DNA sequence: TTCCAGGGGTAGA
DNA sequence: TCTACCCATGGA
């Protein structure tokens, strides 16, 4: 068992960071509520599959995160560095939310919800995984999304040797090897099968360097255009992916947002996308977070 | 049986 | 840029 420690300045709410966004319900992530542990099966670049267990403890003005790593083999220094980077990315430890809290002070109701350190929303170590999961949320119910991702992980991802019924998220190469037919017949991704197979193929072949978008500078609009070049990614999915990369100025308008805004601000009347955007205009670079914490606080 | 979900692609205007 | 139609799946 190897341990990694991270010291994070407050405000930082560990449980909110892990559990506020739906990604915690999707394999290979898990929240063990009794122990307040975030668990995830992770495949390292070397091919080894490990189990991450992250927990938090208050130490004065900081929070100490401990990532306990269960392995069947020794970890190299490269493995340790890779895991450290993945945990920091997944929990957004290097993202600055002070601008969000400053704006939120003008809205006492919302500020009461986030002042303790809410704001970070869980994401995946790789952008590939986040794109696949986002495509699995389109035009379906949440319970079906959970099922699609669970089958994708269980049937195509590598097993964790110490607990072989648990699997890591599959790599693009593994999805290509599994084949389009497996995505359709076995994983039951429906018409999303072709989109996800095509994406996996393009990433595996090197034609699409999806991870490079994580560190792409430039405008949010440029990044949005880059996401929309991926088949299966439209306005909703592109804006969701922008949020996952820490750009909150666009709203991912879906049926849930229409329903929420309609009831909260328009007495249940149908609302246009323009009306929805107008309700969050004041939140400048933080629109998505303002919406999200209004939603989850209700 | 029909509708629709945390939509998106395509063709045609 | 807008609209109509199609796309798999499964629960209500």
| Beta carbons of A26 and A39 less than 8 angstroms apart | no
Query: Whose C1' is closest to the CA of A233: which nucleotide?
Result: B8
Q: What does the DSSP assignment read for A215-280?
A: G--S-HHHHHHHHHTSTT--HHHHHHHHHHTT--SS----HHHHHHHHHHHSTT----HHHHHHHT
> By the 8 A CB rule, do A233 and A198 touch?
no
A3 touches A66 (CB < 8 A): yes
* pLDDT for residue A297: 80
* Cβ of A190 near strand C (distance < 7 A): yes
Nucleotide nearest to A133 (CA to C1'): B6
Nucleotides of C under 7 A from a protein CB: 7-11
Task: State which residues between 112 and 151 of chain A bring their CB within 7 Å of strand C.
Answer: 139-141, 143-144, 147
Which is it for strands A49-59 and A37-43: parallel, antiparallel or unpaired?
antiparallel
Q: Element (H or E) spanning A297, and its range?
A: helix A287-297
Q: Which of A225, A254, A224, A229 is nearest to A241 (CA)?
A: A224
CA of A107 to C1' of C3 (A): 39
What integer pLDDT is reported at residue A1 of this predicted model? 87
Considering only residues 228-267 of chain A, list those whose CB is below 7 Å from strand B.
Answer: 228, 230-238, 240, 254-256
Predicted confidence at residue A213, as pLDDT, reads 97
Tell me the C-alpha distance between A71 and A68, whole Å.
10
Q: Quick check: A92 and A61 in contact, CB under 8 A?
A: no
Report the distance separating Cα A80 and Cα A71, nearest Å: 12
Is the Cβ atom of A54 within 7 Å of strand B at any atom?
Answer: no
The nucleotides of chain B lying under 7 Å from a protein CB are 4-10
The residue lying closest to nucleotide C11, measuring its CA against C1', is A141
Smallest CA–C1' separation from A240: which nucleotide? B6
Spanning CA of A183 to C1' of C8, the rounded length in angstroms is 12
CB contact set of A192 (below 8 Å; sequence gap of 6+): A135, A136, A138, A148, A232
Burial of A167 (0-12, 13-18, 19+ CB in 10 A): buried
Report the DSSP beta bridge partners of residue A7.
A64
> What is the pLDDT at residue A184?
97
pLDDT tens per residue, chain A (298 residues)?
899 999 999 999 999 999 999 999 999 999 999 999 999 999 999 999 999 999 999 999 999 999 999 999 999 999 999 999 999 999 999 999 999 999 999 999 999 999 999 999 999 999 999 999 999 999 999 999 999 999 999 999 999 999 999 999 999 999 999 999 999 999 999 999 999 999 999 999 999 999 999 998 889 999 999 999 999 999 999 999 999 999 999 999 999 999 999 999 999 998 999 999 999 999 999 999 999 999 988 7
Q: Look at residue A217 in the predicted model and tell me its pLDDT.
A: 86
Q: Which phi-psi region, left, alpha or beta, contains residue A190 (left: φ > 0; alpha: ψ -120 to 50)?
A: left
Torsion of CA A70, A74, A75, A77, to 10 degrees: 150
| Cβ of A184 less than 7 A from strand C | yes
Whether any strand B atom is under 7 angstroms from the Cβ of A22: the reply reads yes
Q: How far apart are CA A142 and CA A136, in angstroms?
A: 9
């Amino acid at each position: 068992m190897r341990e990694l420690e991270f010291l994070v300045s407050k405000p930082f709410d560990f449980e909110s960071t892990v559990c506020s966004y739906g990604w915690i319900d999707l394999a290979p992530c898990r929240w063990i509520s009794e122990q307040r542990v975030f668990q995830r099966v992770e495949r390292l670049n070397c091919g080894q599959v490990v189990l991450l267990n992250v927990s938090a403890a208050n130490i004065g003005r900081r929070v100490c995160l401990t990532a306990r790593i269960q392995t069947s083999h020794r970890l190299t220094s490269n493995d340790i560095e890779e895991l450290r980077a993945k945990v920091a990315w997944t929990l957004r430890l290097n993202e600055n939310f002070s601008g969000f809290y400053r704006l939120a002070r003008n809205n006492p109701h919302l500020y009461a919800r986030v002042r303790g350190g809410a704001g970070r929303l869980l994401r995946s170590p790789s952008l590939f995984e986040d794109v696949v999961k986002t495509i699995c949320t389109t035009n379906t119910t949440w319970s079906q999304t959970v099922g699609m991702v669970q089958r994708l992980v269980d049937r195509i991802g590598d097993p964790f040797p110490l607990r072989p019924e648990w699997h890591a998220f599959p790599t693009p190469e593994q999805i290509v090897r599994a084949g389009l037919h497996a995505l359709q017949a076995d994983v039951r991704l429906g018409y999303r099968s072709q989109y996800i197979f095509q994406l996996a193929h393009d990433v595996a072949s090197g034609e699409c360097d999806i991870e490079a978008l994580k560190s792409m500078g430039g405008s949010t609009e440029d990044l949005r255009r880059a996401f929309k070049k991926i088949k299966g990614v439209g306005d909703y999915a592109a804006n969701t992916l922008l949020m996952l990369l820490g750009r909150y100025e666009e709203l991912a308008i879906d049926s849930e947002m229409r329903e929420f805004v309609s009831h909260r601000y328009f007495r249940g009347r149908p609302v246009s996308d323009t009306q929805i955007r107008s309700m969050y205009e004041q939140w400048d670079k933080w629109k998505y977070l303002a919406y999200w914490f209004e939603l989850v606080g209700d």
